[in-house]
Amino acid sequence: DIVMTQSPLSLPVTPGEPASISCRSSQSLLYSNGYKYVDWYLQKPGQSPQLLIYLGSNRASGVPDRFSGSGSGTNFTLKISRVEPEDVGVYYCMQPLQTPFTFGPGTKVDLK
């Protein structure tokens, strides 16, 4: 199975400031079609996960443009340009390249 790791696991943030989360995979997630098979999900407190970014850098419908995804074959980053109070929760990266899909351990983002 592909192992996903994230850092940091906890990230206190200040509203209006940028934030960044890293995700690493045990195998390259770059497929032959040129797409990077990594997604980012946010699970707000008491809610189901919600899709933020798919295939490495594509924002899902309705996701604010302050969220962006980037990365190479095994190293990926989610950036929030200016954190808003509603961005608190746990962020997960996930690889859908091969089954079983696997998730990172999550990064808990809360306000300082």
Partner 1 sequence: QVQLVQSGPEVKKPGASVKVSCKASGYTFSNYTIHWVRQAPGQRLEWMGWLNPGTGYGKLSQKFQGRLTLPRDTSASIAFMELSSLRSEDTAIYYCARVKLDYYYGLDVWGQGTTVTVSS
Chain contacts with partner 1 (rule: CB under 8 A) = 35, 37, 39, 41, 43, 48-51, 53-55, 58, 60-61, 92, 94, 96, 99-106
Residue 83 or 90 having the CB closest to partner 1: 90
> Sign of the CA dihedral 1, 96, 48, 75?
positive
Residue 80 or 107 having the CB closest to partner 1: 107
Q: Cβ of residue 57: shortest distance to partner 1, in angstroms?
A: 12
Q: Is 61 exposed, middle or buried (0-12, 13-18, 19+ CB in 10 A)?
A: exposed
Count of other CB atoms within 10 angstroms of residue 79: 13
Place of tokens 């079983």: 100
Q: Cβ of residue 14: shortest distance to partner 1, in angstroms?
A: 26
Is residue 107 within 8 A of residue 93, CB to CB? The reply is no
Q: Cβ of residue 92: shortest distance to partner 1, in angstroms?
A: 6
Q: Cβ of residue 51: shortest distance to partner 1, in angstroms?
A: 5
